[in-house]
């Protein structure tokens, strides 16, 4: 049975209402994305311009969107947890710590340091090839001028292959351990090895020599440093600084979870060195779930307008239509 004409809404009548609803939804979505983006930048200290990752069209960078590096580094909580875990572990090497202690403002500007590290990872992962290579050259230039002696009188040079190797091994194992712990779908053993192989390319460009190309070998080499590490007064101060990571009051509960997770992804032998008691399985699971849930708004934002999303559009823009 057909409706009387006066009850029918024609398409021209409905269209303005639909457009208005869509417009309001778009406005609210944009406001939410921008607000979350500001919170993420405030937490990470990021100052990167997204426009730098949008060009040139079609440039896949060092790895490309099908790489495991793109997948791992796009996860916000993984990078936060893995990044903080990495900084704590790296500080245990006396000569590596001396280089940072003597030649940076890390202790007073932790967030800025994390922001610079985040930019380097983003540039080498998602930037164009030129952007990635420029970031690597810049770091190599800085490292070439950093030298001195540690507290034991041992000389160090920041671009020494052995120190670069240590920093690299800690970083890639920290990020991968965080991903395997936090991702809803952990990587296969083959994908883990592929990630290690991909990241070795950056490590070699930074001056490391003959890096391992599997996850198992990387973990084994890292554990081989155990006897050379020291949780001395300087390393203890670094840990205290990281545990007091500067965030707004509203973000402090979340940072507590992130730091708990940073310890949870460390190898047991590292926890022994820094005198931390491992969490039990139940505690780990509770922290893991809390971190996953609390990070969903940030991940939603980044999946749409973060560095990885912008880079993916850049690559796709260079693909000709069939």
pLDDT tens-digit readout, 47-70: 678 889 999 999 999 999 999 999
Q: What are the two backbone dihedrals, phi and then psi, of residue 319, each rounded to the nearest 5 degrees?
A: -90, 120
> For residue 211, is it within any domain?
yes
89, 266 Cβ separation under 8 angstroms:
yes
Average pLDDT over residues 95-110: 88
The CA angle 180-307-105, to the nearest 5 degrees, is 80
> For residue 14, is it within any domain?
no
Asked whether the CA dihedral 134, 135, 138, 144 is positive or negative, the reply is: negative
121, 128 Cβ separation under 8 angstroms:
no
Kindly report, residue by residue over 233-284, the tens digit of the pLDDT: 999 999 999 999 888 887 888 889 999 999 999 999 999 999 999 999 999 9
> For residue 241, is it within any domain?
yes
Of the two residues 107 and 12, the one the predictor is more confident about is: 107
Q: How far apart are CA 201 and CA 316, in angstroms?
A: 24
Domain that holds residue 150: 57-304
> For residue 144, is it within any domain?
yes
- Residues 6+ positions from 212 with CB-CB distance below 8 Å: 169, 196, 200, 218, 220, 221
> For residue 44, is it within any domain?
no
User: For the chain, what is the domain count?
Assistant: 1
pLDDT at 9: 45
Residue 29: how many other CB atoms lie within 10 Å? 11
> For residue 90, is it within any domain?
yes
pLDDT at 7: 43
pLDDT category of residue 319 using cuts at 50, 70 and 90: low
Provide the mean pLDDT of the chain: 87
> For residue 163, is it within any domain?
yes
SS3 track for 240-256: HHHHCCCCCHHHHHHHH
Q: Which residues pair with 147 in a beta bridge?
A: 157
Nearest to 60 by CA among 124, 8, 121, 126: 126
100, 91 Cβ separation under 8 angstroms:
yes
**Counts for the chain of helices (H) and strands (E), in that order:** 15, 2
- Report the predicted TM-score, pTM, of the whole model to 2 decimal places: 0.86
Asked whether the CA dihedral 298, 296, 247, 103 is positive or negative, the reply is: negative
> For residue 21, is it within any domain?
no
pLDDT category of residue 321 using cuts at 50, 70 and 90: very low
pLDDT category of residue 192 using cuts at 50, 70 and 90: very high
pLDDT at 15: 56
């Amino acid at each position: 049975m057909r409706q009387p004409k006066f009850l029918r809404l024609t398409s021209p009548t409905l269209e303005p209402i639909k457009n208005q609803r869509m417009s309001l939804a778009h406005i609210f979505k944009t406001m939410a994305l921008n607000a979350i983006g500001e919170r993420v930048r405030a937490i990470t200290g990021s100052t990167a311009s997204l426009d730098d990752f949008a060009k040139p069209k079609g440039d896949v960078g060092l790895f490309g969107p099908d790489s495991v590096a793109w997948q791992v580094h796009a996860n916000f909580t993984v990078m936060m947890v893995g990044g903080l875990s990495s900084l704590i572990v790296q500080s245990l090497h006396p000569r590596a710590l001396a280089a940072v202690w003597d030649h940076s403002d890390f202790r007073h500007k932790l967030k800025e340091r994390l922001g610079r590290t985040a930019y380097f990872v983003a540039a080498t992962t998602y930037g164009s090839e030129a952007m990635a290579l420029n970031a690597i050259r810049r770091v190599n230039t800085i490292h070439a001028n950093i030298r001195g002696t540690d507290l034991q009188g041992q000389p160090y040079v920041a671009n020494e292959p052995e120190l670069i190797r240590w920093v690299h091994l800690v970083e890639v194992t920290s990020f991968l351990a965080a991903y395997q712990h936090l991702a809803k779908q952990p990587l296969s053993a083959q994908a883990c090895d592929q990630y290690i192989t991909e990241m070795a390319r950056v490590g070699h460009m930074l001056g490391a020599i003959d890096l391992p190309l599997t996850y198992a070998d990387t973990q084994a080499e890292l554990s081989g440093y155990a006897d050379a590490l020291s949780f001395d007064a300087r390393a203890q101060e670094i840990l205290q600084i990281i545990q007091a990571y500067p965030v707004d009051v509203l973000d402090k509960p979340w940072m507590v979870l992130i730091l708990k997770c940073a310890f949870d992804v460390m190898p047991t032998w590292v926890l022994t060195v820094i005198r931390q008691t491992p969490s039990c399985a139940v505690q780990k699971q509770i922290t893991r779930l809390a971190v996953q849930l609390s990070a969903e708004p940030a991940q939603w934002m980044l999946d749409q307008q973060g560095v990885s999303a912008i880079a993916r559009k850049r690559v796709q823009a260079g693909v000709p239509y069939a």
